[in-house]
Amino acid sequence: MTRYEFELPDPGEGLTEAEIVEWHVESGDEVEEHDVLCEVETDKAVTEVPSPCPGTVDELLADAGDTVQVGEVFVVIETDSPPSGGDEAEAAAEADERSEDEEDVERESEEADAEDDVDADESEAQSDEDAAEGDGAEAEEAETDEEAAEDEDVEDDAERGEGEDVEQAVEQTEEEEPEKHEEETADESAADADESAEAADSESESESDEEGDAEGETSETPGSDEERVFAAPRTRTYAREEGVDISDIDGSGPNGRVLQADIDERLSESAGETETSGDESERASEASTDEGDQPASAAAEEGSAYTIEHPTTEIEAVAVDEDEERSERRPLSGLRGRIAENMARSASVVPQVTSGFEADATDLVDLKERLDEKHDVHITYSPILLKAVVPALKEFPIVNASIDDTTDEIVEKHYYNVGFATHTEEGLIVPVIQDVDRKSIVEVAREMNDLAEQARDRSIDAADLRGGTFTVTNQATFGEHRTYGTPIVNHPEAAIMGIGRVGKKPVATEDDRVEVQPRVDLSLSFDHRLVDGATANQFMEYVIEGIEDTDTLVARL
């Protein structure tokens, strides 16, 4: 039986951790390959983790509610059939053990030989040592084991008064350790060092090589670290907001990926490291500013065209009656924690503006009723309005764009993936319908129903929660008296449209008469870095044209 340590698999989509929701097995349970071991929550979805092999569950290394990093061992399985790669790892480990045993035997043999050589004549020992140094890589292990013997030899020579030979032996003995290190890290440099005739010259060359290597590593690090830093976009954004240079952090995640916890640790180490380092003149300039001024972000120090300055807010603990009968505490984690993180990021990064609109819904109501009668899928206003925004997104592409906050670039997208906010018992989830422009209203309605159901029972695939370019939220559900709302932009998207309740209202007509019409309230929240107020108004007028005249809408689709 093999003790197989199962690491949390990479769920993809840039995720680096997951929370154990529920275990389906216990220690001692027999499992087959693909049997469900547990459920984990990744981002906004709950997914099942199957067993990679048949066997017996030996140990559960995480409890329900624990957060596990991708690549971290969280369950151990005793198995006769480990998954592909397990046998190779075990064989490699056994090979390493055999190699270490063989090296130990060889080292002991060499130590015995070295002790015999101590009793030999000094000149013969010195000659043997020089020959060993000339042999290069073949004598590396012998040199290490001969050090103790040479020290004893040197002491005997000192008693006999052979001062010159002793001095040379001491220099060579002290030099052997750095030479050995150089040979292990760079064989060619070590070989050059070994060829030196004088011990002092050899020592000088070794020190020079070490300094050169260190300087080379230092000079290459800044340029290469920035290119090879692994971190999720939200982690990069968090680092930028906190003024931390992410390239200076050694990531604790899989493959050195930088996690938000790594940034928090850096911030806690020193208050002075909460800002990215700049040149001395800039620091002097910052010191001379008023207390209300904030230091520039990393993007400004690097000469970026766009920067964000985030003030530091001191948050004090809220005074709460901690009597267990009067209050209780629970972690802000799981889906609610993700929602809090996303909303806080959107509110802090995006300068948001919300505009309100009202439209005649007479044609919209008629179209909805006709489609609902004709098709077996339930048609609501939402799928119609999801389709109605696509022609407007094509007409005003900046509303379908986004800002890449890691590069300060505008990204215009020529595809139309529209998300729709869905309420669940755990919180708000936004499934995304891909390529809405290529689907009919009925197809969109059917897909909305399926994704909404999956979102509510937390079985939705993580891929169906990403890639949106625009979001629509129905604010008319769960209440009859709401009149207005200001939806928060689903960062990094540029805008979100809110749909109010369709209801009858008195309206003044062009001939100064009053008539009752079905009206619908609409709102648009947008990223003011990208979208101007005039553009937002024109976008919504284009959408409303299709709502008030469904013939125009159908012609655009």
Give the residue numbers marked as catalytic: 528
Q: Return the SS3 of 478.
A: coil
Question: Helices marked H in 352-464 — which ranges?
Answer: 362-374, 381-395, 441-456
The Cα 473–Cα 451 span in angstroms is: 15
Question: Which residues contact residue 347 at a Cβ distance below 8 angstroms, ignoring those fewer than 6 apart?
Answer: 488
Residue position matching structure tokens 């972000």:
297
CA angle 417, 423, 424 (to 5 degrees): 115
- Preceding omega of 50 cis (within 30 degrees of 0): no
375: Cβ contacts below 8 Å, ≥ 6 apart: 442, 445
User: Could you give the C-alpha distances from 96 to 89, 173, 353, 357, 386, in angstroms and in order?
Assistant: 11, 31, 63, 71, 60
Report the length, in residues, of the chain: 557
Reported as half-sphere exposure (CB side, CA atoms, 13 A), residue 177 has a value of 6
Dist CA 370 CA 374 (whole Å): 6
Q: Are 54 and 33 in contact (CB under 8 A)?
A: yes
The Cα–Cα gap between 174 and 123 comes to 19
Q: Which residues pair with 231 in a beta bridge?
A: 258
Beta-carbon contacts of residue 310 (< 8 Å; ≥ 6 apart): 241, 242, 294, 297, 348
Q: According to DSSP H, which parts of 305-435 are helical?
A: 334-349, 362-374, 381-395
Backbone φ, ψ for residue 525 (5° rounding): -100, 135
Contacts 24+ apart (CB under 8 A), 507-513: 507/360
Cα separation, 148 vs 141, whole angstroms: 13
Phi, psi of 276 (to 5 degrees): -70, 145
Residue type present at position 195? E
**CB–CB of 539/399 below 8 Å?**
yes
DSSP letter at 8 equals P
DSSP string, 127-195: HHHHHHHHTGGGGHHHHHHHHHHHHHHHHHHHHHT-HHHHHHHHHHHHHHHHHHHHHHH-HHHHHHHHT
